[in-house]
Structure formats: C-alpha cells, structure tokens
Amino acid sequence: MPRGGPVARVSTLVFGPKPGRPDVVIRNLAIIAHVDHGKTTLVDKMLRQAGAFRANQQVQERVMDSNPLERERGITILAKNTAVHWHGTKINIVDTPGHADFGGEVERILRMVDGVLILVDAAEGPMPQTRFVTRKALALGLKPIVAINKIDRADAEPLRVHDEVLGLFIDLDATHDQLDAPFLYTSSRAGTATTDLAQPGTDLQPLFQAILDHVPEPKGDPAGPFQMLVSTLDYSTFIGRIAIGRIERGRVTVGDQVALLPLGEPGMVTDEPFERNRVTRLYTFDGLHRVEVNEVAAGDIVALSGFETIEIGKTFTAVEHPERLAGIAVEEPTISADFIVNNSPFAGRDGKFVTSRQLHDRLFKELERNVALRVEPTESPDTHAVSGRGELHLGILMETMRREGYEFQVSRPRVITKLGRDGERLEPYEELTIDVPEEYMGVVMEKLGPRRAELTEMRNPGQGTVRLTFRIPARGLFGYRSEFLTDTRGMGTMHHRFLDYGPWAGPLAGRKRGVLVADREGAVVAYALGNLQERAQMFVAPGDVVYEGMIAGESSRPGDMDVNVTKEKKLTNMRASGSDENILLEPPREITLEYALEYIEEDELIEVTPASIRLRKRMLQANDRKKAARAARVADAS
Ligand SMILES: Nc1nc2c(ncn2[C@@H]2O[C@H](COP(=O)(O)OP(=O)(O)OP(=O)(O)O)[C@@H](O)[C@H]2O)c(=O)[nH]1
Ligand SMILES: [Mg+2]
C-alpha cells in the first residue's frame, strides 16, 4: 500500500500486464447481511476451498478485512472485490460491510453484480440491516441465494430463521422467482454448507454449486460498443482515482480512448461536454490480488484508471457511442460535527499535522474516496463542518486521521435537519432494534420514553429474550448506548439504522449527569481520585496530565463540578509520606471516539491527538463558564 494513501481495497497489486482472459464464464455475486453475521469469514473459506492460496501459504483470518481498523474492530468498513475460480467459472465476489453507517456502500456495489448471497445468523434471524440490504437487492431484480449461517451455534434455530426470511421476502414484495431462492444451511467458521439439515455439510461445494446454478450469467454483449458504470471508487497516490464496476457491454483495452460521461438521465448524450481520455491501467480481481491486464470484456468486474473526473454513478462509454446508464444516488449525510484546529493548552505536543491548512487539505483529500462524506468550510478558517452517515462513519475518519499524526478537536454532532413540504422542520429518525432478557424490558422502555422513542413492534421469540423495535429521532439516541449497556448489565444488544425524515420532535433532555472539570493544570494524583470516586466515575488515572477545563470524570449527580485532581495529601512532620499505596481506585472509564461523540454536550469538545482522546469544556476557565451560565440564565428569564 502506498504510504499516506488510503487503504487499498485489496492487499496486493500484481504489476505487469498479463494477457486478459476475456471470455471465461463469469458469475458476479455480492455477499450481504447484517453486521457480524459472518460474511468475511465465509469469503475466507471460499478463497481457501477454491484454492486461492498456496498450500503452505500463511493467511490470517478474515483476510479481506485488510485495513488495520477493520482488523482491530473486527468489522468490515469498505466493500472489497475478490474472485475465485470454481470448475472453470470465475466467480467475482464482493464482500460488503454490515454496519448500517456503511449501507450506502452496499447499495452502490449491488449495481455491479448479478446475484446476491444473503447471510442470516441462525439464532438472531433477520435484523434491520438484513431487511435494508435485502430490500435493495430485491428491488434491483437480483436473484438471491439465502445462507442461514452459524448453524453451529448452540442457540441456532435454522428452521425458524428460514421461515422468518421467507416472511421478510413476502413483506418486501419479492417476485415468484425471488421467492424460489435456494436455501443453504452454513457455518462460515467451519466452512461447510448443506441444503438439507439432516445431512450435515462437509465443505462449501453445495454453495459453489448454488452460485453456478442460480446466479445468472452477466448479460452484456462483448461485441457492442464499450459501456461501464462506476459503482465504487478507489484511490492511489500513484495513479489517482480508480473506478470499479462491471463492464455492461463491449470490451476495453489499455490505451483505448474512451468517454466518461457526466451524471444525468440515461440515454444517448448529445450536446453535453464529457471527459475523453486514454485508459492507463486495467485490473481484474483474483484471490487477494489485483491483476493488471490488457483487455477486459463485458460481464467482468474491472478497476480502471486514467481519468480526472471519475465519480460514483458516471458512465464510461466508447467515444462514438456515448450512451449513459442510469446513475447511482449517493446517500445524504444525516449528522454533522465541527472539526476544529486544536487550541487546548496541550496542542501540538504529539501531533505531526496541527495547522488549519493541514486539517483542510486532509479533510478534502478524504472526499476522493469517502463518497458519503461532506466537508464544508465555515466562516472561521479553523473550523470545518464534516457530515456523515453516523457516529461510526465520523469516528472511523477521526481514528484514521489521528493514526496518521493529525491533531484536532471535534464538536458534539448535530443532526442534519430539512424543510418539509410546508416549510416545517424535519429531522432524521432511526429504527432501533433491541434484544434484551425479559427482565430488562421495563428499564429500556422507561429510558427510551423521554427520548421520544415509539415502540413499533415487540416480539418474543422464546428463550427468555424479547426483541423491541422502535422509531426514534436520531437525536434521541445520542448518549443512550452507554446507559443501555449499564442498565442491561451488558446482556442486551442494540442496533439502529437511518429510517427517514420526520417531524422535529422538540427539545430532548441532554445528559443527566454532570461532569467533573479539572480546575488547574498538573499530573493526576491517586489521593485526589480516591476522594472523588465515591461521587464520580473517573476518566483519568494517576499520572495522566490534565489542564484547567479538561473533563476528568462523570459526576453521579446533575450539574458540573470543578475539582482538583492534582491534590496531594497534606504532609505532616510526623509522617512525611505522600504515598498513595493504600488507595484502591476503580479503573477509569475508557473513552473511545464513538463514545465521546455520543457523550459530549454542546459546550464541550473532544480533543483528538495521536496519543490521547481528551474531553474538555469549550471554555476552559471556570470563571468564564460561570459568567456564561449566568448570562444564559438571564437570557432565559427575559
Ligand atoms: N459460531 C459461529 N461464529 C461465526 C461464524 N461465522 C462467523 N462467526 C463469527 O462471527 C463474527 C463476525 O464474523 P465476520 O465474518 O467478521 O462477520 P461479517 O458479516 O463480515 O461482519 P461485518 O463485515 O462487520 O458486517 C466473528 O467473531 C466470527 O468468528 C459461524 O459460522 N459460526
Ligand atoms: Mg465483514
């Protein structure tokens, strides 16, 4: 991977053109599912069983999750292409992310495949993201194959889940053909598939066979004029923007002069200008490699470079036949936060890139490939408004930047509102799905009420747990996850995804508890924490350094409190020891970026540096905060 460039979608590039194999039989398949249902693990096993690795090759688990953040978090962030050969057929596979923040990416890549493999966890059943991606795939007329996965789980109920998937298909108006989808029972982890539960699978042969039998061959005519839709983007510092998509018609050769049409209605483009350029490089996918080739023909998935104006949804065509394909709408962002130059007292201590110019350039560079992101300058050169699809979307960007050596501050996210038909204010709503043991249902309902959640469905699939589905303003979810985990003692799971825009829900209560704010700069002392911890949950540990206005912990009561966390025990003549050895401290709460985004209030900021994540008050000095609070009270009263 080129240093400083974004993550390559596939780990290695094989250089040097190879003769293309244009006319092999091809299948193009996307694997789609809710988060964690086992997509990437399955791709691993498909690669292995199809012989994509040498016999003695050491390959790490979930090898497609190639970027360090994906590996650390165990989730897929970017959709990625790979391909295997099975009995003379090349199967292009797209592994997709299951997290709702990246749902738009899934929607886009569906345009480059002819079939989908829908994975559903044999215990959890269809989840909100299963519904979202299945709806998109069915609406595009794609033929599904269903894999009820993780049948090795002790709590697996494959037959119940089979019924639930059929119910979902009917709900989503699947066609007869789609309802006829083959069902397989699989274990990604074991690498097995079977069509009949009575006969346990021994390998993935039944899955490969189902792909060959049920995913239609791509239709494009290789003899027609060249045409291809840009479904995803990649970027390399060496060759610039790279377009990835399926060739719809014709063939393309390195050095060909081709047209890249602007976005617009499908059909022949007559009087609009378009970019005309030579194709500099072509790659196809093979196992973990991207293979440089000379020519690619209709039906295959290709990565192509050489053009300045590559954008998702644009069409490449032969210059003499500029026929545009229907484009791809890129999803609108729903939340926005300010990225601000770091002006804390500790600014510049460990960051390599700290100036507003550097921050500006880095944020705009991100737009090369992070298509659902928006970056807007504000009146202040120190501040950029960055908008995305959710906290994880923004959190991943923040984490990536700090690893590259950037230092900056981030405000509390705001939801992006819209105006309705009659000029009324609308805000984003989310669908929230909660699985909890029955005894915690009460506390969940009680906490979600004031957050304006509306219960839309309650199901009791047995085994002592209930599944609650809510419709809730996205704002109402801010800060709820940590409460939820505490309230349900870690026994519950929650997922949410964007639903639609609805009426502004009015003011919502903010954080219930106040924070402890450090009242001076210095090193944190165990003795001081020992005195505070009965009334607070600390965010700092002895030895950490704090500054005035930095948040050191959460109080158990409402209202902020200024505290001295650097206070030493008074030394007496008799025992001249400030030893902290006898103080038993609770471990500090770990502050992750997503947690911080949900946690902070309007008058607070997250300070992000390569070495630390700190929370702070916007106004650092206690006096300034007091004055501001007084002024606000006066304003409220008048
Ligand atoms: N028991 C069991 N666990 C599995 C199976 N397949 C995957 N897992 C586990 O489920 C977790 C998620 O697996 P992944 O393959 O990363 O899931 P994914 O669908 O790619 O997740 P995202 O890409 O984040 O949406 C991992 O801990 C896997 O080890 C399976 O067949 N059985
Ligand atoms: Mg994955």
Q: What is the pLDDT of residues 246-297, one digit of tens each?
A: 999 999 999 999 999 999 999 999 989 999 999 999 999 999 889 999 999 9
Strands, sheet with 536-538, edge to edge from the N-terminal-most edge strand: 536-538, 551-555, 515-518, 561-563
Query: What is the rounded average pLDDT of the residues 308-335?
Result: 92
Ligand 1 close to Cβ of residue 187 (< 6 A): yes
* Distance of CA 41 from the midpoint of ligand 1 (Å): 6
* Distance of CA 162 from the midpoint of ligand 2 (Å): 22
Residues with CB under 5 A from ligand 2 (ion): 39-40, 76
pLDDT at 3 over 50: no
Q: Could you give the C-alpha distances from 393 to 198, 330, 434, 590, 596, in angstroms and in order?
A: 43, 15, 21, 20, 14
Query: What is the rounded average pLDDT of the residues 7-27?
Result: 52
pLDDT at 356 over 70: yes
Percent of the chain with pLDDT over 90: 73
Q: Which atom of ligand 1 is nearest to the CA of 190?
A: 31
The CB density around residue 460, as the number of other CB atoms within 10 Å, is 11
3-state secondary structure labels for all residues of 56-104: CCCCCCCCCCCCHHHHHHCCCCCCEEEEEEECCEEEEEEECCCCHHHHH
The pLDDT of residue 571: 66
pLDDT, tens digit, for every residue of 415-469?
999 999 999 999 999 999 999 999 999 999 999 999 999 999 998 876 788 999 9
- Closest C-alpha residue for ligand 1 atom 2: 150
Question: Comparing 308 with 134, which gets the higher pLDDT?
Answer: 134
Ligand 1 close to Cβ of residue 33 (< 6 A): yes
pLDDT at 17 over 70: no
Helices (H) and strands (E) in the chain, counts: 15, 39
pLDDT at 21 over 70: no
- Of 188, 207, 493, the one to substitute when testing ligand 1's pocket (max ligand atoms within 8 A of C-beta) is 188
pLDDT at 573 over 80: no
Asked if 104 and 331 count as a contact pair (C-beta separation under 8 A), the reply is yes
Asked if 264 and 250 count as a contact pair (C-beta separation under 8 A), the reply is no
Please identify which residue in the block is written with the tokens 């709460």: 589
Ligand 1 close to Cβ of residue 150 (< 6 A): yes
- Of 36, 73, 149, the one to substitute when testing ligand 1's pocket (max ligand atoms within 8 A of C-beta) is 36
* Distance of CA 558 from the midpoint of ligand 1 (Å): 41
Ligand 1 close to Cβ of residue 411 (< 6 A): no
Ligand 1 close to Cβ of residue 108 (< 6 A): no
Where does 285-355 have alpha helices with state H? none
Asked if 269 and 323 count as a contact pair (C-beta separation under 8 A), the reply is yes
- On average, the pLDDT of the chain sits at 90
Tokens of 575: 């025992």
pLDDT at 161 over 70: yes
Ligand 1 close to Cβ of residue 374 (< 6 A): no
Ligand 1 close to Cβ of residue 127 (< 6 A): no
Tokens of 481: 């996850």
Asked if 129 and 103 count as a contact pair (C-beta separation under 8 A), the reply is yes
The CB density around residue 30, as the number of other CB atoms within 10 Å, is 26
Lowest model confidence (mean pLDDT) among 150-159, 338-347, 483-492: 483-492
pLDDT, tens digit, for every residue of 361-409?
999 999 888 888 999 999 999 999 999 988 899 999 999 999 999 999 9
Ligand 1 close to Cβ of residue 287 (< 6 A): no
Asked if 6 and 241 count as a contact pair (C-beta separation under 8 A), the reply is no
Query: What is the rounded average pLDDT of the residues 299-312?
Result: 93
DSSP of 193-219, one letter per residue?
EES-TTS--SSSHHHHHHHHHHSPPP-
Ligand 1 close to Cβ of residue 130 (< 6 A): no
The pLDDT of residue 115: 97
* Distance of CA 200 from the midpoint of ligand 1 (Å): 20
Cβ-Cβ contacts under 8 Å for 7 (sequence gap 6 or more): 1, 66, 67, 78
Please identify which residue in the block is written with the tokens 């819209």: 418
pLDDT at 184 over 60: yes
Residue 511's pLDDT band, with cuts at 50, 70 and 90, is confident
The pLDDT of residue 594: 87
The pLDDT of residue 331: 81
* Distance of CA 37 from the midpoint of ligand 1 (Å): 5
Q: Which atom of ligand 1 is nearest to the CA of 75?
A: 24
The pLDDT of residue 572: 61
Pairing of strands 80-86, 295-297: unpaired
For the CA of 127, the nearest ligand: 1
Asked if 113 and 137 count as a contact pair (C-beta separation under 8 A), the reply is no
Lowest model confidence (mean pLDDT) among 163-167, 347-351, 491-495: 491-495
- Closest C-alpha residue for ligand 1 atom 7: 38
The pLDDT of residue 354: 96
- Closest C-alpha residue for ligand 1 atom 28: 38
Q: Which atom of ligand 1 is nearest to the CA of 99?
A: 25
Tokens of 417: 């509102």
Ligand 1 close to Cβ of residue 337 (< 6 A): no
Ligand 1 close to Cβ of residue 192 (< 6 A): no
DSSP of 415-440, one letter per residue?
EPPEE-TTS-EEEEEEEEEEEEEGGG
For the CA of 102, the nearest ligand: 1
- Closest C-alpha residue for ligand 1 atom 14: 38
Ligand 1 close to Cβ of residue 362 (< 6 A): no
Q: Which atom of ligand 1 is nearest to the CA of 37?
A: 19
Tokens of 202: 């021994």
- Closest C-alpha residue for ligand 1 atom 21: 36
Asked if 636 and 628 count as a contact pair (C-beta separation under 8 A), the reply is no
Longest dimension (CA), the chain: 97
- Of 31, 32, 34, 41, the one to substitute when testing ligand 1's pocket (max ligand atoms within 8 A of C-beta) is 41
Ligand 1 close to Cβ of residue 496 (< 6 A): no
- Closest C-alpha residue for ligand 1 atom 32: 150
Q: Which atom of ligand 1 is nearest to the CA of 35?
A: 25
Ligand 1 close to Cβ of residue 149 (< 6 A): yes
| DSSP classification of residue 569 | P
